[in-house]
Structure 1
Amino acid sequence: MLVLAVVASAAAAPQRYTHAAYGHTPGTFIPILVDERHGPHADGSYAFNFETGNGISRQEQGYPQGPEGAVASSGGWSFTFPDGTPAVFTFEADENGYRPVSNLIPTPHPLPAHAIEQIEFARRNPTPGAHPGAYRPGDYRPGDYRPF
C-alpha cells in the first residue's frame, strides 16, 4: 500500500518542463530597438514599426479607402540571411489584392512570341460551346431546383 501511495504521489506531482522538452533551447538575447504602434483608430487606420538588434525590421500602415472605407495597407520587412545577403520586401494590399515586391520573389520567364500568338488566337476564336469561365445567371433555369 505504501508503494502504491508513493507511485501515485510521484505521478501526480507537477511536471517541470525544460526548454529542451519543447524542442527549443534559449539562444542569444536580441533586443527590440524600436516598437511603435498607432491605432487602430475609429476609421480603421493604423500603423506599426519595429526593429530588432539583429537587423530585422517590419513596418506597416493601413488607411480607409474608397466609398465603403475598406482598409488598404502597405508596408514591408527586411532582414539579413546568415550568408550576409540582404532581404527586402515591400507590399501593397487593397482592392487590387496583395502585391509583394522583392528581388527575391521568383518571376516567370517571358513567354516566347509563338506562345503569345497562340494565346491571342484562342482569345479571338473561342471554341463553340466552351464554358466562358464566368457565372452567367441566364445559363441556368430558375425554378428547376427542388430540394425534396
Structure 2
Amino acid sequence: MKTAVFVALLALAAAAPRPDKPESAELLHDEREQEGASYSTNVEIDNGILIAESGDDEGVQGTYVFTAPNGETVEMRLVANENGAVYESPSGHLPVAPLPVQAIHPIPEHALEAIEFASQQRAAGVEWDQQGFVIDN
C-alpha cells in the first residue's frame, strides 16, 4: 500500500506542469502484465518519465526516473519485502544524514562519574522503569 502511495505521489510530482515544457506528453511504451499476485509494469513517456516495477508475494522492486523542475534527472530505486522498504537514488536525490556533531566542551567530571555509576549498577543487574525509578524484583 505504501508503495502504491509513493508511486502515485511520484507520478503526480513528475506530471506537475512546468512552464518551460509543453503541458502534454506522449506515451511511448506501456507494457503491463499480471498473473495472480505477480505483476510487472513498464512505462515510458516522451518527457523522460520511466517506470519499471514488478512484484509478487515476496515483495516489490522498481526503478522510477523523471526530470525534476530544475532539469536534473532523478532516479529512484525501491526494494520492498519482508525486511521492509529500501529506497536508493543513484542520481543522489535522497536526503543524507548529517555528520555527527563534535562536542565543543568537555564532558563535566560529575557527569562522567554518574555515567560510570549507572554502568556499574546496570552490570550488577539493577533495572529502571520509564520514569527513572529502580524496579524492585
Q: TM-score, normalised by structure 2?
A: 0.56
Aligned partners of 1:128, 1:85: CA distance in 2, in Å?
53
Residue 90 (structure 1) aligned with residue 89 (structure 2): no
Structure 1, unaligned stretches of length 5 or more?
A: 1-23, 66-71, 115-120, 132-148
Q: How many residues get paired?
A: 90
Identity across matched positions, percent: 27
Q: State the Cα distance separating 1:62 from its structure 2 match.
A: 0.6
Aligned partners of 1:29, 1:86: CA distance in 2, in Å?
19
Residue 59 (structure 1) aligned with residue 52 (structure 2): yes
Q: State the Cα distance separating 1:113 from its structure 2 match.
A: 7.5
**4+ residue stretches of structure 1 with deviation over 6 A?**
none
> 2:127 — aligned with what?
128
Aligned partners of 2:54, 2:102: CA distance in 1, in Å?
41
Structure with larger Rg? 1
What is the one-letter code of the residue matched to 1:37? R
> 1:144 — aligned with what?
none
> 1:32 — aligned with what?
27
What is the one-letter code of the residue matched to 1:130? D
RMSD: 2.7
Aligned partners of 1:32, 1:92: CA distance in 2, in Å?
26
Q: State the Cα distance separating 1:111 from its structure 2 match.
A: 2.8
Aligned partners of 1:31, 1:61: CA distance in 2, in Å?
23
Aligned partners of 2:102, 2:127: CA distance in 1, in Å?
26
> 1:45 — aligned with what?
38
Q: TM-score, normalised by structure 1?
A: 0.52
Could you say if the C-alpha distance between residues 83 and 113 of structure 1 is closer, same or farther in structure 2, counting changes exceeding 3 Å?
A: closer
Aligned partners of 2:54, 2:40: CA distance in 1, in Å?
4
> 2:107 — aligned with what?
none
SS in 2 for 1:84: coil
Q: State the Cα distance separating 1:83 from its structure 2 match.
A: 2.8
Aligned partners of 2:99, 2:45: CA distance in 1, in Å?
38
Aligned partners of 1:45, 1:111: CA distance in 2, in Å?
43
Aligned partners of 1:109, 1:130: CA distance in 2, in Å?
32
Could you say if the C-alpha distance between residues 28 and 113 of structure 1 is closer, same or farther in structure 2, counting changes exceeding 3 Å?
A: closer
